[in-house]
Amino acid sequence: MAGDTASSDPAHSAAPASMWQSAQQKLALTIIMAQLIGPFIYWPVSLLLAYKSTFMMGFMAAYLVYIFVLDNTAHMQPQGSAPIRSLKFWRHLADYFPAKLHKTADLDPSGNYIFAAHPHGVACMSHTANFLTEASGFSKLYPGISLYPLLLDSHFFAPFHREIALRSGFRGISRQSCLNLLTARAGSAVFLVPGGAAEALLSQPGTCDLIMMKRKGIMRVALQTGASLVPVLAFGETSLFDVAEPKPGSFIATCQQLIRRLTGFAIPLIHGEGFWPNAKAFAPLPRALPVHTVVGAPLPVKRWQGSRDSPEFTAAVDALHAEYCQALKALWNTHKDTYAPKPPPGTPASVLSNGSVCYRRKSLEFVQ
Protein backbone atom coordinates (compact mmCIF):
# COMPACT_ATOMS: atom_id res chain seq x y z
CA MET A 1 0.00 0.00 0.00
CA ALA A 2 1.31 3.46 -0.85
CA GLY A 3 2.68 5.34 2.13
CA ASP A 4 4.00 2.24 3.90
CA THR A 5 7.14 2.64 5.94
CA ALA A 6 9.68 0.12 7.13
CA SER A 7 12.39 0.68 9.68
CA SER A 8 14.30 -1.27 12.24
CA ASP A 9 12.51 -2.82 15.20
CA PRO A 10 10.89 0.02 17.18
CA ALA A 11 12.13 -1.57 20.37
CA HIS A 12 15.64 -0.84 19.20
CA SER A 13 15.10 2.65 17.80
CA ALA A 14 12.59 4.30 20.15
CA ALA A 15 15.02 4.75 23.04
CA PRO A 16 18.66 5.85 23.16
CA ALA A 17 21.02 2.97 22.49
CA SER A 18 22.68 1.30 25.45
CA MET A 19 26.44 0.87 25.47
CA TRP A 20 26.04 -2.71 24.19
CA GLN A 21 23.60 -1.67 21.46
CA SER A 22 25.89 1.18 20.43
CA ALA A 23 28.81 -1.24 20.19
CA GLN A 24 26.76 -3.58 17.97
CA GLN A 25 25.66 -0.70 15.78
CA LYS A 26 29.20 0.56 15.29
CA LEU A 27 30.41 -2.97 14.61
CA ALA A 28 27.79 -3.35 11.88
CA LEU A 29 28.84 0.01 10.42
CA THR A 30 32.51 -0.93 10.49
CA ILE A 31 31.90 -4.25 8.75
CA ILE A 32 29.80 -2.61 6.04
CA MET A 33 32.26 0.21 5.43
CA ALA A 34 35.11 -2.29 5.18
CA GLN A 35 33.16 -4.25 2.57
CA LEU A 36 32.45 -1.12 0.53
CA ILE A 37 36.21 -0.66 0.08
CA GLY A 38 36.85 -4.41 0.06
CA PRO A 39 39.42 -4.55 -2.78
CA PHE A 40 41.70 -2.18 -0.85
CA ILE A 41 41.61 -4.53 2.15
CA TYR A 42 41.41 -8.07 0.77
CA TRP A 43 44.09 -7.74 -1.91
CA PRO A 44 46.88 -6.63 0.51
CA VAL A 45 45.84 -9.26 3.07
CA SER A 46 45.76 -11.99 0.42
CA LEU A 47 49.18 -11.04 -0.95
CA LEU A 48 50.61 -10.95 2.57
CA LEU A 49 49.27 -14.43 3.31
CA ALA A 50 50.74 -15.74 0.06
CA TYR A 51 54.10 -14.17 0.88
CA LYS A 52 54.19 -15.69 4.37
CA SER A 53 53.19 -19.25 3.47
CA THR A 54 54.14 -21.58 0.62
CA PHE A 55 50.83 -23.38 1.05
CA MET A 56 48.90 -20.11 0.82
CA MET A 57 50.90 -19.11 -2.24
CA GLY A 58 49.79 -22.29 -4.01
CA PHE A 59 46.23 -21.88 -2.78
CA MET A 60 46.09 -18.25 -3.92
CA ALA A 61 47.46 -19.15 -7.35
CA ALA A 62 44.72 -21.76 -7.83
CA TYR A 63 42.07 -19.44 -6.41
CA LEU A 64 43.03 -16.60 -8.74
CA VAL A 65 42.78 -18.94 -11.73
CA TYR A 66 39.31 -19.86 -10.48
CA ILE A 67 37.99 -16.30 -10.12
CA PHE A 68 39.71 -14.81 -13.18
CA VAL A 69 39.32 -17.71 -15.62
CA LEU A 70 37.04 -20.55 -14.53
CA ASP A 71 34.26 -18.62 -12.81
CA ASN A 72 34.69 -15.05 -14.01
CA THR A 73 31.03 -14.36 -14.84
CA ALA A 74 29.31 -15.30 -11.55
CA HIS A 75 28.79 -11.59 -10.79
CA MET A 76 26.78 -11.22 -13.99
CA GLN A 77 24.28 -14.03 -13.37
CA PRO A 78 21.07 -14.17 -11.29
CA GLN A 79 21.78 -17.61 -9.83
CA GLY A 80 22.69 -18.03 -6.19
CA SER A 81 21.27 -17.23 -2.76
CA ALA A 82 22.02 -14.25 -0.51
CA PRO A 83 22.13 -15.50 3.09
CA ILE A 84 24.40 -12.68 4.29
CA ARG A 85 21.97 -10.01 3.10
CA SER A 86 19.21 -11.34 5.35
CA LEU A 87 21.17 -11.64 8.61
CA LYS A 88 19.22 -10.18 11.54
CA PHE A 89 22.45 -8.59 12.75
CA TRP A 90 22.06 -5.87 10.11
CA ARG A 91 19.11 -4.39 12.02
CA HIS A 92 21.78 -2.62 14.10
CA LEU A 93 22.83 -0.80 10.94
CA ALA A 94 19.38 0.75 10.48
CA ASP A 95 19.00 1.40 14.22
CA TYR A 96 22.19 3.48 14.32
CA PHE A 97 20.86 6.45 12.33
CA PRO A 98 17.94 5.41 12.33
CA ALA A 99 17.30 4.68 8.64
CA LYS A 100 13.70 4.47 7.45
CA LEU A 101 12.35 3.35 4.10
CA HIS A 102 9.13 4.93 2.78
CA LYS A 103 7.12 3.40 -0.06
CA THR A 104 4.87 5.60 -2.18
CA ALA A 105 3.59 2.97 -4.65
CA ASP A 106 3.29 -0.79 -4.98
CA LEU A 107 5.42 -2.72 -7.46
CA ASP A 108 3.90 -5.46 -9.61
CA PRO A 109 5.96 -8.66 -9.13
CA SER A 110 5.40 -9.50 -12.79
CA GLY A 111 7.50 -6.51 -13.86
CA ASN A 112 11.21 -5.73 -13.72
CA TYR A 113 12.72 -2.61 -12.17
CA ILE A 114 15.79 -0.40 -11.96
CA PHE A 115 16.08 1.35 -8.59
CA ALA A 116 18.22 4.48 -9.00
CA ALA A 117 19.12 6.12 -5.68
CA HIS A 118 20.22 9.69 -4.96
CA PRO A 119 22.30 11.26 -3.57
CA HIS A 120 25.43 9.11 -3.31
CA GLY A 121 26.73 10.85 -0.20
CA VAL A 122 30.14 9.84 1.05
CA ALA A 123 29.50 6.14 1.49
CA CYS A 124 25.87 5.38 0.57
CA MET A 125 25.19 4.50 4.19
CA SER A 126 21.38 4.77 4.14
CA HIS A 127 21.28 2.98 0.77
CA THR A 128 23.32 0.18 2.34
CA ALA A 129 20.87 -0.21 5.21
CA ASN A 130 17.79 -0.04 2.98
CA PHE A 131 18.84 -1.94 -0.14
CA LEU A 132 22.14 -3.78 0.32
CA THR A 133 20.79 -5.50 3.43
CA GLU A 134 17.35 -6.30 4.84
CA ALA A 135 17.95 -3.96 7.79
CA SER A 136 14.94 -1.82 6.85
CA GLY A 137 12.69 -4.62 5.63
CA PHE A 138 12.81 -4.12 1.85
CA SER A 139 11.35 -7.55 1.09
CA LYS A 140 8.37 -6.92 3.37
CA LEU A 141 7.56 -3.66 1.59
CA TYR A 142 8.07 -5.13 -1.88
CA PRO A 143 7.09 -8.81 -1.80
CA GLY A 144 7.93 -10.78 -4.91
CA ILE A 145 10.79 -8.47 -5.95
CA SER A 146 14.27 -10.03 -6.17
CA LEU A 147 16.72 -7.17 -5.69
CA TYR A 148 20.32 -7.24 -6.91
CA PRO A 149 22.44 -4.35 -5.57
CA LEU A 150 25.16 -3.49 -8.09
CA LEU A 151 28.83 -2.89 -7.29
CA LEU A 152 31.89 -2.06 -9.35
CA ASP A 153 33.20 -5.19 -11.05
CA SER A 154 36.52 -4.83 -9.19
CA HIS A 155 34.76 -6.11 -6.05
CA PHE A 156 34.28 -9.50 -7.73
CA PHE A 157 37.96 -9.98 -8.55
CA ALA A 158 39.25 -9.37 -5.02
CA PRO A 159 40.11 -12.64 -3.25
CA PHE A 160 37.66 -13.72 -0.53
CA HIS A 161 35.80 -10.41 -0.74
CA ARG A 162 34.24 -11.76 -3.94
CA GLU A 163 32.61 -14.65 -2.08
CA ILE A 164 31.15 -12.33 0.55
CA ALA A 165 29.76 -10.00 -2.13
CA LEU A 166 28.14 -12.81 -4.11
CA ARG A 167 26.56 -14.32 -1.01
CA SER A 168 25.23 -10.92 -0.08
CA GLY A 169 23.30 -10.85 -3.35
CA PHE A 170 25.53 -8.24 -5.01
CA ARG A 171 26.21 -8.29 -8.74
CA GLY A 172 28.39 -6.33 -11.15
CA ILE A 173 27.34 -2.99 -12.57
CA SER A 174 28.33 -3.66 -16.18
CA ARG A 175 25.73 -3.29 -18.92
CA GLN A 176 25.79 -7.02 -19.69
CA SER A 177 25.22 -7.85 -16.04
CA CYS A 178 22.18 -5.54 -15.95
CA LEU A 179 20.77 -7.10 -19.11
CA ASN A 180 21.22 -10.62 -17.73
CA LEU A 181 19.59 -9.81 -14.41
CA LEU A 182 16.64 -7.86 -15.79
CA THR A 183 15.70 -10.43 -18.43
CA ALA A 184 16.15 -13.60 -16.36
CA ARG A 185 12.73 -13.71 -14.73
CA ALA A 186 9.78 -11.56 -13.72
CA GLY A 187 10.18 -9.65 -10.47
CA SER A 188 13.90 -9.03 -10.92
CA ALA A 189 15.28 -5.62 -9.97
CA VAL A 190 18.68 -3.99 -9.81
CA PHE A 191 19.78 -1.22 -7.47
CA LEU A 192 22.45 1.37 -8.24
CA VAL A 193 23.55 4.89 -7.32
CA PRO A 194 24.09 6.80 -10.60
CA GLY A 195 26.10 9.68 -9.06
CA GLY A 196 28.96 7.35 -8.22
CA ALA A 197 32.34 8.33 -6.86
CA ALA A 198 32.29 11.77 -8.49
CA GLU A 199 29.17 12.70 -6.54
CA ALA A 200 30.74 11.53 -3.28
CA LEU A 201 33.31 14.30 -3.57
CA LEU A 202 30.50 16.90 -3.75
CA SER A 203 28.68 15.75 -0.63
CA GLN A 204 28.05 18.47 1.97
CA PRO A 205 25.58 18.56 4.90
CA GLY A 206 22.13 19.82 4.00
CA THR A 207 22.66 19.63 0.23
CA CYS A 208 21.43 17.40 -2.58
CA ASP A 209 23.81 18.13 -5.46
CA LEU A 210 23.41 15.43 -8.10
CA ILE A 211 25.55 14.38 -11.04
CA MET A 212 22.88 13.25 -13.44
CA MET A 213 22.95 15.23 -16.68
CA LYS A 214 25.24 12.78 -18.48
CA ARG A 215 24.13 9.66 -16.62
CA LYS A 216 22.08 8.02 -19.38
CA GLY A 217 23.32 4.43 -19.15
CA ILE A 218 20.38 3.35 -16.99
CA MET A 219 17.99 4.79 -19.58
CA ARG A 220 19.62 2.68 -22.29
CA VAL A 221 19.34 -0.44 -20.15
CA ALA A 222 15.71 0.37 -19.30
CA LEU A 223 14.82 0.72 -22.98
CA GLN A 224 16.66 -2.48 -23.90
CA THR A 225 14.91 -4.53 -21.20
CA GLY A 226 11.59 -2.75 -20.71
CA ALA A 227 12.38 -2.41 -16.99
CA SER A 228 10.60 0.40 -15.15
CA LEU A 229 12.72 3.13 -13.57
CA VAL A 230 12.18 3.70 -9.85
CA PRO A 231 13.55 6.99 -8.46
CA VAL A 232 14.84 6.91 -4.87
CA LEU A 233 15.75 9.90 -2.70
CA ALA A 234 17.53 9.68 0.65
CA PHE A 235 16.84 12.79 2.75
CA GLY A 236 19.72 13.31 5.17
CA GLU A 237 22.35 11.14 3.45
CA THR A 238 24.69 14.05 2.75
CA SER A 239 24.59 15.23 6.38
CA LEU A 240 26.24 12.09 7.74
CA PHE A 241 29.77 13.43 7.12
CA ASP A 242 31.60 16.70 6.73
CA VAL A 243 33.73 16.63 3.60
CA ALA A 244 36.78 18.85 3.22
CA GLU A 245 37.01 20.37 -0.24
CA PRO A 246 40.63 20.70 -1.38
CA LYS A 247 41.48 23.59 -3.67
CA PRO A 248 41.09 22.72 -7.37
CA GLY A 249 44.46 21.76 -8.79
CA SER A 250 46.00 21.13 -5.36
CA PHE A 251 48.03 17.99 -4.66
CA ILE A 252 45.19 16.43 -2.64
CA ALA A 253 42.57 17.21 -5.30
CA THR A 254 44.82 15.76 -7.99
CA CYS A 255 45.35 12.57 -5.96
CA GLN A 256 41.61 12.19 -5.38
CA GLN A 257 40.84 12.48 -9.08
CA LEU A 258 43.67 10.11 -10.01
CA ILE A 259 42.48 7.44 -7.55
CA ARG A 260 38.91 7.81 -8.82
CA ARG A 261 39.97 7.40 -12.45
CA LEU A 262 42.22 4.41 -11.75
CA THR A 263 40.00 2.49 -9.32
CA GLY A 264 36.48 3.92 -9.58
CA PHE A 265 36.58 4.71 -5.85
CA ALA A 266 36.43 8.18 -4.29
CA ILE A 267 38.56 8.97 -1.25
CA PRO A 268 37.06 12.17 0.22
CA LEU A 269 38.53 13.78 3.33
CA ILE A 270 35.77 13.12 5.84
CA HIS A 271 34.86 13.81 9.43
CA GLY A 272 31.87 12.16 11.05
CA GLU A 273 31.69 10.31 14.34
CA GLY A 274 34.32 8.34 16.24
CA PHE A 275 34.31 4.87 17.69
CA TRP A 276 34.09 6.37 21.18
CA PRO A 277 32.17 9.42 22.50
CA ASN A 278 33.62 12.87 21.81
CA ALA A 279 36.32 11.53 19.50
CA LYS A 280 37.60 14.43 17.40
CA ALA A 281 40.90 13.44 15.84
CA PHE A 282 39.65 10.20 14.26
CA ALA A 283 35.99 10.16 13.24
CA PRO A 284 35.51 7.81 10.24
CA LEU A 285 31.97 6.66 11.06
CA PRO A 286 28.83 8.46 9.85
CA ARG A 287 26.95 10.67 12.25
CA ALA A 288 23.96 9.11 13.99
CA LEU A 289 21.38 11.29 12.22
CA PRO A 290 17.93 10.26 10.92
CA VAL A 291 17.79 9.42 7.22
CA HIS A 292 14.46 9.04 5.42
CA THR A 293 14.57 7.26 2.06
CA VAL A 294 11.55 7.72 -0.19
CA VAL A 295 10.94 5.30 -3.05
CA GLY A 296 8.94 6.90 -5.83
CA ALA A 297 6.42 5.40 -8.20
CA PRO A 298 7.86 3.42 -11.12
CA LEU A 299 8.17 5.05 -14.52
CA PRO A 300 6.92 2.50 -17.09
CA VAL A 301 9.31 1.95 -20.00
CA LYS A 302 8.36 0.32 -23.28
CA ARG A 303 10.98 -2.12 -24.54
CA TRP A 304 12.84 -0.79 -27.58
CA GLN A 305 12.46 -2.99 -30.62
CA GLY A 306 14.62 -1.13 -33.15
CA SER A 307 18.34 -0.56 -33.61
CA ARG A 308 20.31 0.91 -30.71
CA ASP A 309 22.55 2.73 -33.18
CA SER A 310 19.70 4.75 -34.68
CA PRO A 311 18.99 8.44 -34.04
CA GLU A 312 15.53 7.36 -32.85
CA PHE A 313 17.06 5.34 -30.01
CA THR A 314 19.22 8.29 -28.96
CA ALA A 315 16.13 10.50 -28.96
CA ALA A 316 14.23 7.94 -26.87
CA VAL A 317 17.11 7.82 -24.35
CA ASP A 318 17.13 11.62 -24.07
CA ALA A 319 13.34 11.75 -23.64
CA LEU A 320 13.40 9.09 -20.92
CA HIS A 321 16.28 10.87 -19.17
CA ALA A 322 14.30 14.12 -19.13
CA GLU A 323 11.21 12.33 -17.82
CA TYR A 324 13.23 10.65 -15.08
CA CYS A 325 14.85 13.91 -13.97
CA GLN A 326 11.41 15.52 -13.78
CA ALA A 327 10.13 12.63 -11.67
CA LEU A 328 13.12 13.02 -9.38
CA LYS A 329 12.43 16.73 -8.93
CA ALA A 330 8.74 16.01 -8.28
CA LEU A 331 9.69 13.44 -5.63
CA TRP A 332 11.94 16.01 -3.97
CA ASN A 333 9.33 18.76 -4.04
CA THR A 334 6.65 16.47 -2.63
CA HIS A 335 8.66 15.27 0.37
CA LYS A 336 11.31 17.91 1.09
CA ASP A 337 9.27 19.77 3.71
CA THR A 338 8.42 16.53 5.50
CA TYR A 339 11.82 14.84 5.52
CA ALA A 340 14.24 17.75 4.95
CA PRO A 341 12.65 20.99 6.22
CA LYS A 342 14.48 24.28 6.32
CA PRO A 343 15.99 25.00 9.75
CA PRO A 344 14.19 27.54 11.94
CA PRO A 345 15.48 31.10 11.56
CA GLY A 346 18.65 31.68 13.55
CA THR A 347 19.65 28.01 13.67
CA PRO A 348 23.47 27.72 13.58
CA ALA A 349 24.94 25.98 10.53
CA SER A 350 26.47 23.39 12.85
CA VAL A 351 22.96 22.15 13.82
CA LEU A 352 22.13 19.52 11.20
CA SER A 353 18.97 17.93 12.58
CA ASN A 354 16.04 18.38 14.96
CA GLY A 355 16.29 14.75 16.05
CA SER A 356 13.69 13.33 13.71
CA VAL A 357 14.79 14.74 10.33
CA CYS A 358 17.87 16.46 8.89
CA TYR A 359 17.64 20.07 7.79
CA ARG A 360 18.18 21.17 4.21
CA ARG A 361 20.40 24.14 3.40
CA LYS A 362 19.61 24.16 -0.33
CA SER A 363 17.31 22.37 -2.75
CA LEU A 364 18.05 19.49 -5.10
CA GLU A 365 20.26 20.62 -7.96
CA PHE A 366 21.65 18.87 -11.01
CA VAL A 367 25.19 20.24 -10.94
CA GLN A 368 26.64 18.13 -13.76
Q: What are the residue ranges spanned by the domains of the chain?
A: 19-241+286-342+359-366
The model's pTM is: 0.91
Strand pairing report for 242-244 and 269-271: antiparallel
Measure the CA–CA gap between 49 and 211, rounded to whole angstroms. 40
Q: Which of 132, 216, 145, 232 is nearest to 182 (CA)?
A: 145
DSSP letter (8 states) at residue 37? T
Residue 346 region by backbone torsions, left for phi larger than 0, else alpha for psi between -120 and 50, else beta:
left
- Ordered alpha helix ranges (H), 244-285: 251-263
Q: SS3 of 5, please?
A: strand
- E strands present in 75-142: 99-103, 113-118
The correct CATH number of 19-241+286-342+359-366 out of 3.40.1130, 3.40.50, 3.30.450, 3.30.1330 is 3.40.1130
Average pLDDT over residues 346-352: 91
Residue 67 has pLDDT above 90, yes or no: yes
DSSP conformational letter for 353 = B
Quick: pLDDT tens for 80-112.
889 999 999 999 999 999 999 999 999 999 999
DSSP 281-321: S---BPP---EEEEE---B--PPP-S-TTSHHHHHHHHHHH
Give percent of the chain with pLDDT exceeding 90. 74
| pLDDT band at residue 280 under the 50/70/90 scheme | low
Sequence-separated (6 or more) residues with CB below 8 Å from residue 292: 100, 102, 234, 235, 236, 335, 338, 339, 340, 357
